[in-house]
């Protein structure tokens, strides 16, 4: 079993400082009494006849980072895509159960999916900037939402790039192609692009898995800053990363949510044997 001292260090922030933040939220029960931003209840998910999620219930508190961990193929991305209904794009899929965003079921028939996706932003595993300028990438969300005035767009672009800690690096070349940026910069651009629609929730599917350690550290720092404003759900393959950035950790295994709780608890005193085996690296 891991002890607190054996938790991996956050690369740019002193260990103690980071841990005290998590410690503030103990015990677990207090943690879950914070306002609930997204609440999934008894979610089953099917790709055609293949069931990928079994009866998943998870509460994602406001201004918290929830990390989804588990071996490859256990349904983390599937669950994440349920939260902004990106699974709707895949033909033949079906969802059961309820997912509440601010107490409203996002799967009720009246839901405007376009509106939902503006409130629940998403960052993908592989950075996927549009083959357009840096400016146009960030301005795309507001533009499709109907913002036309140049000054308003300029403001949104600058603010989003500042929030994603990219402004200093690109402010003098906003009209250059986004594809010229480095991998880490591209991923921060994708975060800026997601922030530009002014979402409440930010979903990140292994946002740093394709990046070098330095860029990864930047993204992790960024997540730490962004949670003051947003509710973040992040999928990660990397145990250390989950331990470093998240407040709550949810462990998935073969479509089931095995265990969820405050990150320090899950990592230091997991209740389930499977969780313990996974975080200590015995499988997956």
Partner 1 sequence: MSSLPRNGRPYAKLASQLFAYACAACAFSSVAILVLLLSQMLRFAWGWLDWQFITSFDSQLSPDKAGVRAALVGSIYLIALTTLFSVPIGVGSAIYLEEYAQRSRWRGIVQTNIANLAGVPSIVYGILGLGLFVRGMQMGAGVLAGALTLTLVVLPIVILASQEALRAVPSTIRQASYALGATRWQTVWHQLLPAALPGIMTGVILALSRALGEAAPLVAIGAAGFVMFTPRGINDSFTALPLQIYNWTENANDDFRIHVAAAGIIVLMVMLICLNATAVFLRYRFGKRIHW
Ligand X SMILES: Nc1ncnc2c1ncn2[C@@H]1O[C@H](COP(=O)(O)OP(=O)(O)O)[C@@H](O)[C@H]1O
**In the complex, which residues of this chain contact Mg ion (CB under 5 A)?**
77
User: Taking a C-beta distance cutoff of 8 angstroms, is the pair 260, 23 a contact?
Assistant: no
What b/e string do you get for 160-186 counting C-beta neighbours within 10 Å, with b at 16 or more?
bbebbbbbebbeeebeeebeebeebbb
Q: Which of 7, 22, 52, 217 binds ligand X (CB under 6 A)?
A: 52
Least spacing, CB of residue 117 vs partner 1, in Å: 4
Closer CB to partner 1, residue 10 or residue 193? Answer: 193
Site map for partner 1, 209-248, x if CB under 8 A?
----------------------------------------
Report the distance separating Cα 271 and Cα 282, nearest Å.
16
- What is the nearest approach in angstroms of Mg ion to the Cβ of residue 205? 6
Which of 46, 47, 130, 167 forms a contact with ligand X (CB under 6 A)? 47
**Count of all residues that appear for the chain in the document:** 284
Residues 216, 125 contacting (CB under 8 angstroms): no
User: Is residue 124 within the footprint of ligand X (CB under 6 A)?
Assistant: no
Decide if residue 184 touches partner 1 (CB under 8 A). no
130 touches partner 1 (CB under 8 A): yes
Q: Where are the beta strands (DSSP E) in 62-134?
A: 65-69, 93-101, 104-105, 120-123
Q: Binding to ligand X by residue 73, rule CB under 6 A?
A: yes
Helix (H) or strand (E) holding 43: strand 36-47
Task: Tell me the site size for ligand X, rule CB under 6 A.
Answer: 12
Contact 164, 121 (CB under 8 A): no
Gap between the Cα atoms of 76 and 81, Å rounded: 9
Per CB under 6 A, does 77 bind ligand X?
yes
Distance between CA atoms of 108 and 93, rounded to whole angstroms?
Answer: 16
Give contact residues for partner 1 (rule: CB under 8 A).
Answer: 84, 86, 89, 91, 114-115, 117-118, 121-122, 124, 126, 128-131, 140-141, 143-145, 177, 179, 190, 193-194, 197
């Amino acid at each position: 079993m891991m002890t607190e001292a054996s938790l991996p260090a956050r690369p740019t922030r002193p260990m103690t400082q980071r841990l005290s933040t998590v410690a503030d939220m103990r015990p677990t029960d207090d943690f879950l009494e914070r306002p609930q931003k997204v609440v999934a209840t008894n979610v089953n998910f099917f790709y055609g006849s293949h069931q990928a999620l079994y009866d998943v219930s998870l509460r994602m508190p406001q201004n918290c980072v929830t990390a989804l961990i588990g071996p490859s193929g256990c349904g983390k991305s599937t669950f994440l895509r349920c939260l902004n209904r990106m699974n709707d794009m895949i033909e033949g899929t079906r969802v059961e159960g309820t997912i509440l965003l601010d107490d409203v079921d996002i799967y009720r028939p009246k839901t405007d999916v376009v509106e939902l996706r503006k409130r629940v932003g998403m960052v993908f595993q592989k950075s996927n900037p549009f083959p357009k300028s840096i400016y146009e990438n960030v301005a795309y969300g507001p533009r499709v939402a109907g913002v036309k005035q140049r000054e308003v767009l300029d403001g949104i672009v600058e603010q989003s790039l500042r929030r994603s800690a990219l402004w200093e690096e690109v402010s003098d070349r906003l009209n250059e192609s986004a594809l010229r940026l480095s991998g880490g910069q591209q991923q921060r651009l994708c975060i800026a692009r997601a922030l530009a629609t002014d979402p409440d929730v930010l979903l990140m599917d292994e946002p740093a898995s394709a990046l070098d350690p330095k860029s990864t550290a930047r993204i992790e720092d960024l997540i730490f800053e962004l949670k003051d404003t947003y509710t973040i759900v992040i999928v990660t393959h990397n145990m250390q990363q989950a331990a470093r950035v998240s407040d709550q950790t949810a462990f998935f295994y073969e479509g089931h949510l095995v265990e969820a709780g405050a990150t320090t608890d899950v990592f230091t005193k997991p209740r389930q044997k499977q969780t313990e085996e996974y975080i200590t690296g015995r499988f997956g």
